[in-house]
């Protein structure tokens, strides 16, 4: 077995043992006195109005997905910012094309009504 892998195996063992040991120690130390009121969904003294597994409208998921898409696009700008000086005008044009595609997608979703909250 190559000796270069020994630190990886040590790190793997520590990465597995630390969470397991932490959970076991927490289980042994914490107080455990479950009763009916404590096991309810909310401990504010008011009974829950309905089941917590209610349904959400599809519009909520569409807005969430659009947020993730437009948020993740900023990740693609970081490598460009790092190599900005070496890319020159080609890099600037490339980013403008990328941002233009994003703006077109944003305008399309706005016109389709995907960003309306009501």
The mean pLDDT of 15-36, rounded to a whole number, is 89
The residue ranking higher by pLDDT, 42 or 93, is 93
Buried residues in 96-116 as b, exposed as e (16+ CB within 10 A): eeeeeeeeeebeebeeeeeee
> pTM here?
0.45
Domain spanning 3-111: CATH superfamily: NADH:ubiquinone/plastoquinone oxidoreductase, chain 3 (1.20.58.1610)
Q: What are the structural domain ranges in the chain?
A: 3-111
Measured CA to CA, the distance from residue 53 to residue 18 in angstroms comes to: 33
> Of 56, 52, 57, 102, which is closest to residue 76 (Cα–Cα)?
102
Task: Please say if the pLDDT value at position 48 is more than 80.
Answer: no
């Amino acid at each position: 077995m190559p000796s270069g892998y020994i630190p990886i195996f040590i790190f793997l063992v520590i990465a597995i043992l630390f969470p397991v040991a932490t959970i076991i120690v927490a289980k042994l130390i914490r107080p455990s006195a479950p009763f009916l009121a404590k096991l309810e969904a909310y401990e504010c003294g008011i009974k829950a109005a309905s089941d917590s597994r209610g349904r959400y409208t599809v519009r909520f998921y569409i807005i969430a997905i659009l947020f993730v898409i437009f948020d993740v696009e900023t990740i693609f700008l970081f490598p460009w910012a790092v190599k900005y000086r070496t890319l020159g005008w080609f890099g600037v044009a490339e980013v403008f094309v990328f941002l233009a595609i994003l703006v077109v997608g944003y305008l399309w979703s706005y016109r389709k009504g995907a960003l309306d909250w009501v």
